[in-house]
C-alpha cells in the first residue's frame, strides 16, 4: 500500500504542476494551497515563502523529472545513438512534456534574468545535463558513430535544440513532429 503523501509533498507536487503549467508568476499560492488541500499556515510551516517553496520544488521535483526526461545513461551494450533514440522516444511518449514543453527550460526563460537563486538552481541542472550528454557523445565519437566535434558544445546544442522542439505553440506540438525533428538531429550527428 502506497503511503499517504505528507502536506509538504502535496505542496511540492502542486507547486511543480502550477509552475510548469502557468509559470512562476502565474502560479498563485492560493491555487497551489487549494490543489494541495493545505491551509496557508502549513505552507509557512514548511517553507519561508513561495520562492522558498519553488526552490525546494526545483531540487526535489523538477531535477528528478529532468533526469528522467533526459536519461542519457548508457548500458554497456548500447551505442550512443541508440541511447539518444531511446531518450527522445521516451520524451515523445510523455504527453505533458510535448504539451507544455521542458519545465526546466520554461523556468529558466521566465526567471533566469529576474532571480539569481532560481537561475543558480536551474543552471546547475542544465550544466549537469550538458556534462552527462557530453560524456555520451564523447563515447560515440570514440567509437566512430558520431562525427568529431567538441562534445560539450555539441551537447549544449542538442539540449537547446530539443528545448526548441518542445517550445512550439500547442497546436503545432505533437509527438510525431518531435520524433521527426529529433531524427533529423540524430542524422546530423553521424559522420
Write down the pLDDT at residue 148.
97
Average pLDDT taken over every residue of the chain: 95
Mean pLDDT of 15-22: 97
Mean pLDDT of 150-176: 95
DSSP letters, 106-159, are HHHHHHTTT-HHHHHHHHHHHHHHHHHHHHHHHHHHHHTSS--S-HHHHHHHHH
Mean pLDDT of 156-178: 94
pLDDT tens, residue by residue, 56-69 = 999 999 999 999 88
pLDDT tens, residue by residue, 119-150 = 999 999 999 999 999 999 999 999 999 999 99
Write down the pLDDT at residue 170.
82
Contact in structure between 155 and 134 (CB atoms under 8 Å): yes
State the span(s) of the chain assigned CATH 1.10.10.60.
Answer: 1-60
Write down the pLDDT at residue 133.
97
**1-60 CATH pick, 3.40.50.300, 3.30.420.40, 3.30.70.3400, 1.10.10.60:** 1.10.10.60
Q: Mark out the alpha helices in 37-115 (DSSP H runs).
A: 40-46, 50-57, 63-69, 80-92, 95-100, 103-111
Q: How confident is residue 2, by pLDDT bands cut at 50, 70 and 90? A: confident
Contact in structure between 79 and 145 (CB atoms under 8 Å): yes
Q: Element (H or E) spanning 25, and its range? A: helix 7-26
Q: What are phi and psi of 138, to 5 degrees?
A: -60, -45
State the span(s) of the chain assigned CATH 1.10.357.10.
Answer: 70-191
As a whole number of angstroms, the longest Cα–Cα distance in the chain is 59
Write down the pLDDT at residue 171.
85
Q: Which of 178, 190, 152, 188 is nearest to 91 (CA)?
A: 178
CATH of domain 70-191: 1.10.357.10
Write down the pLDDT at residue 1.
73
Write down the pLDDT at residue 18.
97
pLDDT tens, residue by residue, 84-94 = 999 999 999 99
Residue 153, pLDDT > 80, answer yes
Share of the chain above pLDDT 70, in %: 100
- Residue 102 contacts by C-beta under 8 Å, 6 or more apart in sequence? 66, 69, 162, 163, 166, 167
Mean pLDDT of 18-41: 95
Amino acid at each position: 500500500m502506497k503511503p499517504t503523501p505528507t502536506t509538504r509533498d502535496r505542496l511540492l507536487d502542486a507547486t511543480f504542476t502550477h509552475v510548469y503549467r502557468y509559470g512562476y508568476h502565474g502560479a498563485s499560492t492560493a491555487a497551489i494551497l487549494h490543489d494541495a488541500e493545505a491551509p496557508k499556515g502549513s505552507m509557512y510551516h514548511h517553507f519561508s515563502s513561495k520562492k522558498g517553496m519553488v526552490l525546494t520544488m526545483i531540487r526535489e521535483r523538477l531535477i528528478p523529472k529532468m533526469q528522467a526526461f533526459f536519461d542519457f545513461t548508457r548500458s554497456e551494450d548500447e551505442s550512443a545513438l541508440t541511447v539518444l533514440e531511446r531518450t527522445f522516444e521516451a520524451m515523445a511518449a510523455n504527453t505533458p512534456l510535448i504539451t507544455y514543453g521542458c519545465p526546466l527550460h520554461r523556468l529558466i526563460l521566465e526567471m533566469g534574468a529576474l532571480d539569481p537563486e532560481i537561475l543558480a538552481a536551474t543552471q546547475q541542472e542544465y550544466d549537469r545535463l550538458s556534462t552527462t550528454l557530453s560524456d555520451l557523445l564523447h563515447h560515440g565519437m570514440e567509437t566512430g558513430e558520431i562525427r568529431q566535434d567538441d562534445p560539450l558544445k555539441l551537447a549544449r546544442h542538442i539540449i537547446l535544440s530539443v528545448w526548441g522542439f518542445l517550445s512550439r505553440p500547442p497546436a503545432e506540438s505533437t509527438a510525431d513532429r518531435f520524433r521527426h525533428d529529433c531524427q533529423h538531429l540524430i542524422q546530423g550527428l553521424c559522420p
